[in-house]
Every structure is written in structure tokens, then in C-alpha cells.
Structure 1
């Protein structure tokens, strides 16, 4: 059994009423120290990986996951074995060639411990700000004009990222990206000699480009393992099935997962990913509220529920809570065991709110889930 920690960092603790905690440098230093200590503990106690979502400008101190790639590098440099990744980076908020290059550098700097994940983005404050030059906004998967434009950008950006990772040099001319841009005169002697076949036209117009570096080679693939989070959009799920990605689901309704995985695995097989099964593709996640006693577990859950209803089950998100790792160690062992038996899955995720509870409480939660991992070792 493999278990990853999806860290949601908080700069406002339980019960605090403080203005603009996310703007406080000292609070960030405290968060950095606490997260580092907790991930070192996770590394030494059987956890397999660390990951984050991507958010920006969260001055309220809620889910301050600014730049997961830098977090990945920091955690990798302070641990020995933890894989590091994202679930995920918003493809619609970045130039895909720059993102591909940054991730490839990270892959080398972490000695190949990187996994990658992508999303469309669901937070208008920061996505609409960062993607305004492309006239991109967040959407509700409603097939509106804005929704379809957002989806086309995600799909095209992934196409560019994949070209960056799998081709030494390439060109791409789509709806959103021209790589290289047209009419770039480039009479550069090193490119003429060593830039690869087709890099320049007879008139020294730039025709192909590549990134430096490309990711490390893996057996059977040219880039790091691909994980994508799934909520309710079947169209997005089917897109990633074509790419053979692992599907990370926090959905608690088994009947919905059953239907989704039938479609997902069928789509994987249609596109040549014959190795994909539910067991090696479905990654099941839950919010971590495990306790050493039933009373403590219930208190953790009650505190978390207040947080969730104020930060997630509220406009503009309005998302359901999903699965929760709730109860004592033995109760969570039963929950994980039932899911392993039903789906055959060997990979799980703990959604862990670092900085919201006391440090000792959060370390105890990780320690308790480490006992769950050991029960299936």
C-alpha cells in the first residue's frame, strides 16, 4: 500500500480571527517549518509521497498552496524518499513550454522523485487574473462558450507540454500557442550547426525549438508519472484516460466511482493503455481526521467540518466534502481495507490541513495513519 500526503497549508489556525494572515511573512516562516517537520516525519514513517494543489493570492490564509513546484523542491531537499508532485498545476494559467521546462528541471533536481498532475483551475480570483491575456476564465463544466474555450486551452497546453517532454525539438501552431512564433529571424551559428534538423529555414527563420532540460528517462516512458484529480466532469476524465493517467478521487459515492472507472478504463484501453486496471489506476483520497480515540477523532472531524463549510462548501466553490478518513486507527483500517477489497487499489491520499490544528495534533494524525499503512504492509 502506498499513501501520499496532499498538504493544504494554512496560515490561520483553528479558532483564530485575524485579518490578512496570508500577508504575514512570519506566519509563512512558521508554516514552512511546520510543513517541513511533518513531511520529514511522513518520510520516516512509511508515507510514499507529498503533493499540493495550486492556488495563488490566498491572503486570507486558507489553502496557501503558492507555487507547488517550489514546495516540491523544498520538501525533496529535506527528505530522503518521499516522491513529490502536484494534484495539480493549472494548465490554463501557465505558458506550457515554461511549465514543462520548470517541471523537467525539478525532475532532475529531485533525483527522479517527481510525479506531475494537471487541472483546469477552479478559482476565478487567481486564474482569471493570471490568464487574462488569453481571455480565459474559470467555468462550471457547463459547455458554455467560456467553458469550451477553457477546455480547449487545457488540451492544447497539454499537447505542448507532452511535445516538450517527448521530442528533442518541435513546432506547434494552434489556437492559443505558436511555437516558435512566426517570423523569428535567427541567424545564430550554434543553431545552424547544432540546433537539429529542421530548426531553421533556408532564410534562417526559426522553425523548431526544444526545452532544456528534458525530463529524466523512465522505463517505458519519457516523463514523470501522471496523476490527475477527478471530481465530476466525465469529459475531463475521458481526456486524461487517453493519456493513461492515474485518477485521484475524493468522491465518496461508490456508485459514481463504479460508473466512472468502467468508462475510464475502457477509454484507457481504446488508446493503447492496456496495462490499466481499476486497481493500478484509481487513487482514493480522503480528508485526514483520524484520532487516537473515538472522542478525539470526533473532535477532529467536528473542527474540520467547520473549516470545510466555511472554506470549500461555500461560494464560489460549493463542493461536497467527499471521503473522510474518520475514526480511530482500527476504524480507518477497516475503511481502507473495504476499498482495497472492492477496487483492488493500492494507492491512497490523505488530504491534510497543515497549520490549522496544533502541530502536535497534526503529527499525531500522521502517526495514526502510518499505523494504517503498516497494517497493509
Structure 2
């Protein structure tokens, strides 16, 4: 099984300090967050985690999601680690310029020595998506939106077209694309440069206009092998799209009936691409795991970590729908007890976590587990110990050994990789 971590990051503040307001504007809290997340990243690298991922959200004066550039955070993380791969969960494509996304991720791939994972999402926070993506006509998509159907379709169209641009730039030395929203390159750009005619002749036409572009540097990895993660989804359409692209959807819900519906949808579509793929393969699962000496201590740690972040912030966007049981009506309880009782947060002693994690692994055939870590409001020392107990005691107890994905570099690459001094 592969193990990964999702780090927002949040401001390194206590719940009481968050409630005082504007934690995101306090430079002390962000510097402390860098220190704490850096310590976690180094530990994950040593413990054998496969990758760490950052989200993209903007304007978080509230301080709960200070993650406006997951690619830049990834470049920072790459310099702290040697084997841990670097992902985004995720770059919000409808609000971004896909040409710049392709370039930035290619640079991250080189900075990290081929450890980049591509993570793309559609965007559910309207404050961010509509402001940053205003030139694209971008809108957010979230479960409680009164105009969900209209906005979801508009968002999906932008997402899928932007993704085609990113992939096309990675897979081709010279590339052009003419879609509904993006012209790459726009027609009629005059570029009759003798240097281009000599050194990149396929990009310019006989009339001296730009016909194609290419990004430089391109990815260090062979683009056909770059892993794609698609968080955090319950949408059958998104799951099927991920299956067609060979991507890894990261399933949000812990509810057995919901998870199996998602796995069925992925498997049905994925078989068209790979008839031999097994049920439950190529799918990641999203959870929180907190391990301590006792069940009571683990619950208390989690309650002040993700148990503060989720009920305070994410319920507003419909996250609790991921916890809804079949046939359940009315609001889902918005508290940490519900997160634990319904299986999203697996907390407890080594024995308790081993027992509950083993059930989930057996039920769903989990081969990738992504852990949401509430670094920020959580006590750093207790979170580091939780990770240590998970890897060194819980996983061996249930017979799980950690795997790591080995990237494949471009076939023409034949020199030494650059590495940062760690």
C-alpha cells in the first residue's frame, strides 16, 4: 500500500487564536506553519510515505487554508526532501492559465528530480474561483450551490479544455490547440525571428506568424507516466473522467455504500481502457488517522486538529454530505464525533486504529491511502508521534508494507539529476 499526506497548510494557531480573527494575516502564524509543515515533510520522507500534497485556495484571512500556490509550496517541499514525491490536491484548472500551469509543473518536476505528481481539481470555493478566474468566466462547483447544474457544467467545460492544453504541452515538443476558451497560440502573432527559423523552425509559418509553441523546460518525467490525482470526489462524472485518463480519483467518503458506488463507476469506465484492471484498483481513499497511547487521547488530539478545521470551515461547502448514510435525512451532525463514528477519522490506540484501518483496507482493497493531517491547530509533537506509531506499529500489526512509486524519466535524459542539499 502507498501512503500519502494532504497538508493544507493551516496557520499554526490554536482554535482560540483562530476565533480571535484574521489568523491568516498574522506573519507569526505562517512562519510557524512553515516550520511545522517542514518538520512533518522531513518525517514523511524518512517514514516511507509516497507523496505529500497541498491544496489551492485563495484569500484565506481566516487562516484555515493558507495554500494559494500548491506548486510553489511543492518547490519548497522538494528542497526539504529526497524521495517524497510532490503533488497538488489540487491546482484549480478552471481559474488558471493552463499554459502557465504546464510550465510551472514542468519546472517543479526538474526542481524535484522527477518527483512531481499532477493534481487537478475543478474548484468549489466561489470567492477564489470567480475572482482569480474572472477572465476565464470561471465559476465554482459545490454541493449546496442553488445553481449547481448550470455552474457545474460550465466549470467542467473549462476544466477539461484546460487539461487538454496541459497534457498537450507536456506530450509534444511543439503544440497548438484551438478550443472554445483557449487558443494556443492565438492566430496572427507575428514572429519572423531568424533565430526561431534556425533553431525551432516547426513553430513558425512561412508567413512569419507563430503556428505552434512549446514549453522549455518540459517535464523531466516521461509525460505518459506522470501520475494524475483527482481529489476529492464523489461525482460519477468526475470519477469516470479520471478513469478515462488513467488518473487516481481520491474518494472522499468513508460510507461503504457510497465508496462502493464510486469504485463501481471507476471500474466500469477503466475496463474500457484496461480490460485487466481489478475492482478497486487505481483509486485513492481519503481519511484522517490519529494514533496515541489511548483512544481518549487520540480523540482529543484530533478534535483540536481536523476536528476544528472541518466543522468550522468545510461543512459550509457540503463536506458533511460525504458522511451521509443511505436513507439519512436532515443535517449530518457537524462535529468531530460524527467524523469518527462514520469512519472518516480513524482515531485511537495502536490496537483500535489497526482494527478499524484493517476493516477499511479489506472492504475496499485500498492501495493508496491519503491522510488529511490537521497541522496548524494540532500540537506538532503529538502529530509527529501519531505518524510514527502508524508506520512503525499499526501497519506492521496488520501486515501492510509501504510502497513507493518509481518515476520514469524521459528516454532522452542521460545525465545526472540535480538534487538539493538537504
Moved more, 119-128 or 223-232: 223-232
Structure 1 outlier segments of 4+, above 6 Å = none
Structure 1 residues 121-163: Cα deviation after superposition (integer angstroms, max 9, x where no partner): 0011111100111222112376633322211000000000110
In the alignment, which residue of structure 1 is the partner of 2:154? 149
Flag the 1:135–1:10 CA change in 2: closer, same or farther, 3 A. Answer: same
CA RMSD after TM alignment: 2.0
TM-score by length of 1: 0.92
TM-score by length of 2: 0.83
Distance 1:313 1:145 in 2: 22
User: Mapping of 1:209-358 within 5 angstroms?
Assistant: 209-218=213-222, 221-270=223-272, 272-274=273-275, 276-303=277-304, 304-314=306-316, 319-320=321-322, 321=339, 323-358=344-379
Structure 1 residues 69-112: Cα deviation after superposition (integer angstroms, max 9, x where no partner): 11111112111221111121101121101101100110111011
1:6 aligns with 2:11: no
Question: Contact (CA 8 Å) 2:250, 2:283: kept in 1 or not?
Answer: yes
Distance 1:306 1:59 in 2: 17
In the alignment, which residue of structure 1 is the partner of 2:416? none
Structure 1 residues 308-365: Cα deviation after superposition (integer angstroms, max 9, x where no partner): 2111112576654572122222222222222332333222111001111122122122
Question: Contact (CA 8 Å) 2:47, 2:388: kept in 1 or not?
Answer: yes
SS at match of 1:222: helix
In the alignment, which residue of structure 2 is the partner of 1:44? 46
Flag the 1:39–1:343 CA change in 2: closer, same or farther, 3 A. Answer: same
Distance 1:127 1:318 in 2: 21
Moved more, 124-133 or 65-74: 65-74
Flag the 1:310–1:143 CA change in 2: closer, same or farther, 3 A. Answer: closer
User: Mapping of 1:132-147 within 5 angstroms?
Assistant: 132-140=134-142, 144-147=149-152
Question: Contact (CA 8 Å) 2:109, 2:221: kept in 1 or not?
Answer: no
Q: Which ranges of structure 2 fall in alignment gaps of 5 or more residues?
A: 323-338, 402-422
Distance 2:59 2:357 in 1: 35
Distance 2:95 2:320 in 1: 22
Question: Contact (CA 8 Å) 1:91, 1:157: kept in 2 or not?
Answer: yes
Count of residues paired in the alignment: 373
In the alignment, which residue of structure 1 is the partner of 2:36? 34
Distance 2:89 2:51 in 1: 12
Flag the 1:373–1:86 CA change in 2: closer, same or farther, 3 A. Answer: farther
Of 147, 163, 168, which aligns to 1:163? 168
Distance 2:308 2:23 in 1: 19
Question: Contact (CA 8 Å) 2:99, 2:165: kept in 1 or not?
Answer: yes
1:368 aligns with 2:369: no
